[in-house]
């Protein structure tokens, strides 16, 4: 025989269509549910849209075990066993009984479609935070005990009427059958007594449940007052949330502006990095040029040192030649004085041929001396020209050294950058 809960849900699908639009608790939004042989498929559970029939049976059992009303529980950011997702909640009970979850396990949120379907099938009443059985469902589950009690009274009535009819209306050959029926009747009476005891126990249980129900109603009233206070706080928090959302929007705009500025800074840094790389390449080229210049300078310094030695020798030779020229000039002066003396003597002895010959010899000697003096002057001019060229080379070498020093100083400046 099929479970009455499952039968009622299937009957509702037959009446209202399959698939059907199931309203949520607010009544403003809906989700679609489709009845199949193995269970119900819903479209508001993305990961696991299938709800087996056993789930609805266990959900009703959970509500009955808790006196006809139970908290729904909240699986959002919670694990089984947390204060808002205990085994005494519908969500936690289903996770444990149907899906085998253990304490500490994460739970998929299924209570919303389950509670909505039970409410839609007119089995339960889905309210905020809890779900309870409808009154007719409570009567449905107590009808079995009433049927058993009525059966016991019917059997007892049969017991009172049966012996009378057997004594006055049945023949003697049926006495044995009557005895057998009496024995069976005795057994039935015992069973009826047992049922009476069970009914008394059920009545006590009903009284206890009524007492608990009264206590729960008081607790419910208290919870409703607390709920109103929480709703007021929720309204205040909503205003705070709106204020925070506006501030978040402002922060997001500011972050967007800062992001754009950061992008510009990154582009500038990229350009500066490229420029720096170019400068580094230039510095490397300068280093190479300076190395070449250093080598050239070293070579030039060696040449200058060599030229300095050669120049020193030339200066020494020039000094010697200057000394010789001075000596020749002295000799020339002396010769000129002698010539003058001879000219005086010649003027005194014009008639003497011997003096004329000596005079001619002296003139020839003077010519030779003048030729020697001219050659010496030409040699001195050549030495002077070589000296001028040497000084020019020294000047060029000094200028090259100065340029190299400036390049080295420029290199140090780039390295400091």
Which pLDDT score is estimated for 138?
46
Q: How does DSSP classify residue 259?
A: H
Are residues 84 and 34 in contact, defined by beta-carbon separation less than 8 angstroms?
no
Pairing type for strands 39-42 and 30-35 reads: antiparallel
Token reading at 70: 């139970």
Number of H helices, E strands in the chain: 7, 7
Angle between helices 4-16 and 53-65 (to 10 degrees): 120
Q: What does the angle CA 275 – CA 279 – CA 281 come to, to the nearest 5 degrees?
A: 115
Distance CA 136, CA 142 (A): 10
Q: Which residues contact 50 (CB under 8 A, 6 or more apart)?
A: 38, 39, 40, 41
Helix (H, G, I), strand (E, B) or coil at 130: strand
Which pLDDT score is estimated for 252?
67
Q: What does the angle CA 119 – CA 122 – CA 128 come to, to the nearest 5 degrees?
A: 30
Q: CB count, 10 Å around CB of 301?
A: 13
Which pLDDT score is estimated for 395?
83
Distance CA 291, CA 365 (A): 63
Which pLDDT score is estimated for 352?
57
- The parts of the chain modelled with pLDDT lower than 50 are 137-171
Token reading at 303: 């040449």
Pairing type for strands 39-42 and 124-127 reads: unpaired
Distance CA 106, CA 128 (A): 23
Distance CA 174, CA 195 (A): 31
Instruction: State pTM to two decimals.
Output: 0.37
Element (DSSP H or E) covering residue 126: strand 124-127
Which pLDDT score is estimated for 149?
37
Distance CA 230, CA 221 (A): 14
Helix (H, G, I), strand (E, B) or coil at 76: coil
Q: Strand pairing partners for 50?
A: 41
**Could you please report the per-residue DSSP string of 346-387?**
HHHSTT-HHHHHHHHHHHHHHHHHHHHHHHHHHHHHHHHHHH
- Which of 371, 370, 342, 367 is closest to 357 using CA atoms? 342
Peptide bond into 321 cis (omega under 30): no
- Which of 136, 74, 131 is closest to 107 using CA atoms? 74
CATH architecture of 268-416: Orthogonal Bundle (1.10)
Distance CA 69, CA 130 (A): 7
Sheet holding 50-52, edge to edge: 20-23, 30-35, 39-42, 50-52
Distance CA 232, CA 234 (A): 5
Distance CA 180, CA 182 (A): 5
Distance CA 228, CA 314 (A): 120
The domain segmentation of the chain, as residue ranges, is 4-133, 268-416
Q: Which residues contact 106 (CB under 8 A, 6 or more apart)?
A: 75, 79, 80
């Amino acid at each position: 025989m099929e479970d009455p809960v499952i039968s009622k849900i299937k009957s509702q699908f037959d009446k209202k269509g399959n698939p059907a639009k199931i309203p949520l608790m607010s009544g403003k939004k809906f989700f679609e549910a489709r009845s199949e042989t193995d269970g119900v498929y819903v479209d508001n559970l993305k990961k696991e849209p299938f709800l087996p029939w056993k789930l609805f049976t266990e959900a009703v059992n959970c509500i009955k075990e808790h006196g006809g009303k139970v908290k729904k529980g909240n699986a959002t950011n919670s694990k089984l066993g947390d204060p808002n997702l205990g085994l005494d909640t519908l969500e936690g009970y289903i996770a444990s009984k149907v899906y085998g979850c253990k304490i500490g396990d994460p739970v998929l949120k299924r209570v919303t479609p389950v509670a909505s379907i039970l409410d839609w099938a007119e089995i339960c009443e889905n309210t905020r935070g809890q779900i309870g059985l409808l009154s007719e469902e409570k009567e449905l589950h107590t009808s079995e005990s009433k049927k058993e009690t009525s059966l016991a009274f019917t059997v007892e009535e049969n017991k009172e009427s049966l012996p009378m009819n057997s004594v006055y209306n049945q023949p003697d050959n049926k006495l044995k059958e009557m005895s057998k029926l009496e024995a069976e009747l005795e057994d039935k009476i015992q069973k009826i007594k047992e049922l009476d005891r069970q009914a008394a126990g059920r009545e006590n249980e009903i009284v206890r449940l009524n007492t608990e129900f009264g206590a729960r109603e008081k607790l419910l009233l208290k919870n409703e007052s607390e709920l109103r206070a929480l709703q007021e706080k929720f309204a205040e928090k909503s205003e705070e949330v709106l204020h925070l959302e506006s501030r978040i929007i402002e922060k997001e705009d500011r972050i967007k502006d800062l992001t754009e500025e950061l992008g510009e800074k990154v582009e500038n840094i990229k350009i500066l990095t490229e420029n720096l790389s170019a400068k580094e390449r230039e510095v490397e080229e300068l280093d190479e040029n300076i190395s070449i210049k250093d080598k050239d300078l070293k070579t030039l310094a060696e040449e200058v040192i060599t030229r300095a030695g050669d120049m020193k020798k030339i200066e020494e030779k020039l000094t010697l030649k200057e000394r010789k020229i001075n000596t020749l000039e002295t000799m020339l002066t002396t010769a000129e004085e002698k010539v003058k003396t001879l000219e005086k003597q010649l003027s005194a002895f014009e008639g003497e041929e011997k003096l004329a010959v000596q005079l001619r010899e002296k003139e020839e000697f003077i010519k030779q001396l003048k030729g020697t003096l001219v050659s010496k002057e030409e040699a001195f001019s050549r030495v002077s020209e070589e000296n001028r060229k040497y000084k020019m080379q020294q000047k060029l070498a000094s200028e090259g050294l100065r340029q190299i020093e400036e390049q080295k100083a420029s290199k140090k400046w780039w390295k400091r950058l």
